[in-house]
Amino acid sequence: MPSLGTIATQLFPPKPKWSVEQIPDLSGKVCLVTGGNTGIGKETCKQLLKKGATVYLACCSQDKAEEAIKDLETQTGRTAIFLQTNLSGLDSVKAAAVDFKILERQLNTLFLNAGVMVPPMDQVTFQGYDMQSGTNVLGHFLFLKLLYPLLGLAASSSPSSLSRIVWTSSSVQLYFSPPVKYVTLEDGDARRKMNVGQLYYQSKFCSVLLLFQVARTSLNDGIVAIVVDPGNIKSDRLQRHLPSIAQRTMNAVLLHSVDLGAITQLYGGTAPEAAQYNGTYLSPWARLGEANKAAYDAEAQAEMGKYREDAVRSWL
């Protein structure tokens, strides 16, 4: 359980010392943002476009993507590129990676931003995994594995500029009580006996474990891997499964705007000084923070890495 001080600074973070105005020129850089059609992801795309990056907006709905791209073009004068990706289906993730590799030979920054929160218990992925674990963790992990070589190519082509992986987690990982209950990651009786909120907490804890495991070797390939907590943010998509009264109360009392929510992952993905933060956890707003203590356990990281490697092997 996090300390009262940690809880307080999570709910009411100190004023940010870094702003999007400090993002360097990104001309010639290629960035990919999952869930870029809405919320924090869309705001992230906007700021990257404003700084000259080539931005791929990955989501599952073409209509919603086109709507977001049109709006971003109005705001920035530049056009994001739609990459159709359904993270709840590993076939779709594989197809998206193939499409991306046809269009680009390297990738500078991969923002693993998309997520689902507390969907109905009967929702599972195409491969039969818990929807939150399958989307927030497994789909992203496969995407990372498939695109990792392009991150390495970007780093090798510009030795002075490290590539980056920025994986969006959540403060709820602090409230998860380990160990991970692996039997609940797939659908079955054990999963259905768990609270859907606890499954969400577990998925966000698992993403921290995996990012830390990746970071153990990524720097050898010129890739910085960072996990971020965006803060408690107003997001119509992420909170669409919450009861309306609960959502209105959260919005009024505890939640912050998406422009603040995007700051931490933009900092991790673009700030020159953030290149030194491989294997770290960033808290809102753009501050070094501490993850759940159990996430630093090397054996737990390795166990999670092996489980996910085995799960995606057929799609590699």
Q: Is 61 a catalytic residue?
A: no
Whether the Cβ atoms of residue 209 and residue 295 lie closer than 8 Å to each other: yes
**Catalytic position from the list 169, 170, 207, 218:** 169
Which class for 38: exposed (0-12), middle (13-18), buried (19 or more C-beta within 10 A)? buried
Helix runs in 219-281, H state only:
244-253, 258-270
Q: What span, in angstroms and rounded, lies between the C-alpha atoms of 304 and 43?
A: 31
**Catalytic position from the list 94, 145, 204, 234:** 204
Q: Is 169 a catalytic residue?
A: yes
Convert 67-89 to b/e letters by CB count within 10 Å (16 or more is b). Answer: ebbeebeeebebebbbbebbbbb
| Cis previous bond, 120, omega within 30 | no
Strand order in the sheet with 223-228: 81-84, 54-59, 30-34, 109-112, 163-168, 223-228, 280-283, 287-289
**Catalytic position from the list 148, 200, 201, 281:** 200
Q: Is 46 a catalytic residue?
A: no
116 Cβ contact list (under 8 Å, min separation 6): 88, 131, 132, 135, 136, 238
DSSP track, 71-88: HHHHHHS---EEEE--TT
Catalytic residues: 169, 200, 204
